[in-house]
Structures are given as C-alpha cells and as structure tokens.
Amino acid sequence: MIFLTSKTAVNMLGLILTVFLLFTKHVEGSELHYTIPEELPVGHVIADIVADARLAAHYPAEVVFGGELRFTLLTLPAMPVIVDESSGQLITSGRVDREAICATSAAPCRVRLDVAVHPVQYFRIVKVAVDIADVNDCDPVFRPAAIVRDISEAASTGSGFVIPTAHDADTPQFGVTKYLLTEVDGQPAAADGPFGLSISRKLDGSTEVRRKA
C-alpha cells in the first residue's frame, strides 16, 4: 500500500492539471471558420466537425467511425445552434436573425463556439467561428411613424423642417439609399409641387432629411 502526504498529493494534482492544460492548449491551436447567410431554416447543417476538424487523423478509425466519440458545446451559443451528440454535426435550432444576434449593423457578425470531443481519453476542443452574412430582410422605419408640423402660408420657398431619418437594421449594403416624397394631402406628389425633400449628409456620417415648403 502506498501512502501519499498532502504535499505529494498536491504536487501530483499540479502535474495532472499542468499536463491537462498543455494538452488543451495543443488541441485548441486551430479554428474552423464558416460563413452562412442569416434566415437559414431550422435543421440546416452548418458544419461536420468530424470531417472538417479531420478527427480521423487524430484517432483510430474504429473510434471515429465506430460511434465512440461524443460531442457537446462547452458554452451557451449566441446563435440558435446545437451539435449532434453522435455525429458531431453543427445544426441550426432556430431562426438565425443577424440583427438579433449582433446588436450593431457593422460587419462582420461573428459567433464563436467551443465544441468538446468526448470521452475523456479522446478529449479535444474544436474552436469554431461562424460569420453571419446579412440579407435584405429589414424594412426602413421612421421613429416616430408620424409627425405634425404647422407651416405658415406665408412661408418662403426653401424654408422647411427636419424630418427624422429612417432606421434600417440591415448593414449599409442593404440600408437606406434614398428618400422619395410619395404623397401630399393624399395625392401623388408632383415634381413641380409646393413640397419637396432636401437630403444632406452631415459631418458625423448621419443623414438629414428636410422637407421644403
């Protein structure tokens, strides 16, 4: 029978932790990268971790193809996605809404995932990065949707007031490109009518929309 002192036990535990950390660092050396469009349907296969991470090059064939490996996500993902426990496929589990996943419209919208390979004797962390590409799925909206302004009948040509700019949650590629005056008093707006729009780009990059009376 072998007895371990507290000091010996601590040293062995430190050695085990050190070896484990070194092993984890080694298997985390590369990252799989994918680009998908938003609005993918539920059940869409994004990745095949077994094939893409070339696990057959790291484990015996009977382990990889014999069903011994298991797969889990180490952290709660920022996008609706799951990893199939047996196959290692990364699959969408809900609506992929870029605007909901990434608060800003600036590209890229990147989600990082850590996929763990089990059991412990085959433990490996596969790092995954998924870029979600924007599609033109958002309509521009005015906030507020309606405003009321009083204009004097004696107002001179060119006078007017600022209208709130439209907000579009999509990236600038699919954002607001122009403004059109469509109706005046319920009638189609005429090019030579008494009202028009003046669009100007400000120094801070914002847009000013002014209705001219």
**What's the mean per-residue pLDDT of the chain?**
75
Cα distances (angstroms) measured from residue 208 to each of 70, 106, 145, 180, 191:
56, 21, 16, 14, 20
Q: Which residues pair with 2 in a beta bridge?
A: none
Mean pLDDT score, 21-50: 76
* pLDDT at residue 28 is higher than 80: no
CATH architecture of 18-133: Sandwich (2.60)
- Model confidence pTM above 0.85: no
pLDDT band, residue 171 (cuts 50/70/90):
low
pLDDT at 194: 59
Higher pLDDT among residues 203 and 52, named by residue: 52
The H-assigned helical ranges of the chain are 6-27, 49-52, 61-64, 98-101
Rounded Cα distance between 35 and 51, Å, is 17
* pLDDT at residue 39 is higher than 60: yes
pLDDT band, residue 145 (cuts 50/70/90):
confident
pLDDT band, residue 30 (cuts 50/70/90):
confident
pLDDT band, residue 138 (cuts 50/70/90):
low
pLDDT at 43: 96
pLDDT of 81-131, one tens digit each? Answer: 999 999 999 999 999 988 888 876 566 889 999 999 999 999 999 999 999
Per domain, the residue ranges of the chain are 18-133, 137-213
Half-sphere exposure of 119 (CA within 13 A, CB side): 4
**Cβ atoms within 10 A of the Cβ of 31, count?**
11
* pLDDT at residue 163 is higher than 60: yes
Evaluate whether 130 touches 36 at the Cβ level (below 8 Å): yes
pLDDT band, residue 62 (cuts 50/70/90):
very high
Mean pLDDT score, 176-202: 64
pLDDT band, residue 27 (cuts 50/70/90):
very low
